[in-house]
Amino acid sequence: MKRVFYLVVLLAIAAAFYVYAYPRLAGTGKADAQQTASTGGKGNAYAVSIVSAVAKTETLPITNSAVGYMEPVQTVAVKARANGTVIQTNVVEGQTVKAGDILFKLDDSAQQAIIAKDQAQIAKDQANAKAAQATLERDQDLIKKQVIPQSTLDADAAAADAAKATVTVDQAQLKSDQVALAYMTITAPIAGRVGTVNTSIGNVVSATDTSTTGLVTITPLDPLRVSFSVPESALDSFRSSTAGGKAVPVSIRAPDDTTDRAKGLVSFIDSSVDTASGTIVIKADVDNAAQKLWPGQYVTAITQLGSYDNVVTVPLVAVQESDTGPYVWLAGPDGKAKKQPVAVTASIGDRAIIGKGVKAGDHVVTEGQLRLANGSAIKETVAKDTTSVASNDDAATGVGESTGVAPTGAGGPPPAAAASGNS
């Protein structure tokens, strides 16, 4: 009898545990018990706790993200144009110079002497020309009186012309030597930042220097140019976006950046596709007035090729995949879940663009999908909307499935062509 008694007690404890403790361990409470009671004990025994988000209508950018590098618009290697010894340097490494600033001076004493010689020669030949002209004028009076023959007049006229020509030659030689003298002062041909200085006072420099760095290099830092490669499949998107001279904006970020460092516009599309890599080079001129970018620096270039205007979007995490295609769980106003097939046009950052199946205002499940079945009772918590995709804070990635939602904006590329990723 005692064994039977103990058995009855154990069964009673198990029944009480199932009725009172198990619902709490399974994540349901009083509200779930009320939900179960309201269904009359039919269907699901307990409501599933889920988190939902509200589908909304918004405009999302179509972007292409690619790794590239910064390059200067131009770089000048300053070289000597005459042989000489450096006697003065007016520049230090890293200095910013303006066009025309004096960088180096060479010993010009020999050239100054040549200039003085040229000036003396001009004075001498000008005197000879003056004398020849005076002789010619006297001969012109004497020929009228028939004192001298015509041959003498002709010879003196030729001598006067030769003397004038000699003065002209002397003046041209003086100008040439003055140019050579100017070469002894080396100035900055462009404005920019000075690189490594490769000479110093006392060094002999040559006009035949064949080095690639010269005496110093000057590189302008504003503007700069970003160069990056994109897949051949993206070429049509870039061409259509820039057709007719349209301005296509490009945002620049360095690794680990969460905001743009600088912005620019596409300025160049290469004339051919690299057959080895299947990519094509794109370049954009970038405003670098704040000098947050540096030549040779690797960056991410985000090109805005257009936009999806007034499309229905949901959090990307709400979209599930099945053998029959993508779907979402809808949280109905009747407190039940519904499996809804959808067509996904593209994904931008953490947002999915829905071509059909969901309308603005619908509640889509973002947490708890694995415990749902069609008609499941749910206990819904609506998450606050904190997403923002109006900027380029996230790289855009196309899904590649068009559902008739036409993108618009810069060039209006089709969704499949706008699909992008890091190249």
**What's 212's domain CATH number?**
2.40.50.100
Task: Report residue 167's pLDDT band, with 50, 70 and 90 as the boundaries.
Answer: very high
pLDDT value at residue 29: 43
Asked, for residue 44, whether it belongs to a domain, the answer is no
Question: 17 in a domain, yes or no?
Answer: no
Q: Are residues 167 and 277 in the same domain?
A: no
Phi, psi (deg, nearest 5) at residue 232: -55, -30
Side-chain-side CA neighbours of residue 55 (13 Å): 26
pLDDT tens column, 224-282: 999 999 999 999 999 999 998 899 999 999 998 999 999 999 999 999 999 999 999 99
pTM across the whole model = 0.65
160 CB burial (10 A radius; 0-12, 13-18, 19+):
buried
The CA distance from 151 to 234, in Å, is: 85
In a domain, 49, yes or no: no
User: What pLDDT shows up at residue 35?
Assistant: 43
Q: Domain range holding 194?
A: 75-104+190-219
Q: Tokens at residue 388, please?
A: 């923002």
151 shares its domain with 241: no
Counting the structural domains of the chain, the total is 3
Burial class (CB in 10 A: 0-12, 13-18, 19+), 59: middle
Regarding whether 130 and 64 lie in a shared domain, the answer is no
Token pair of 175 as six digits = 């100008």
The span from the CA of 347 to the CA of 317, in Å, is 11
Q: Is the pLDDT of residue 393 over 70?
A: no
- Looking at the fold, whether 363 and 235 belong to one and the same domain comes out as yes
> Does residue 29 form part of some domain?
no
Task: Judge if 258 and 374 occupy the same domain.
Answer: yes
Provide the pLDDT for residue 101.
96
Give the per-residue pLDDT at 156: 82
Backbone angles phi, psi at 211, to 5 degrees: -70, 160
pLDDT at position 141: 82
pLDDT, averaged across the chain: 84
409: domain CATH number?
Answer: 2.40.30.170
pLDDT tops 90 at residue 318: yes
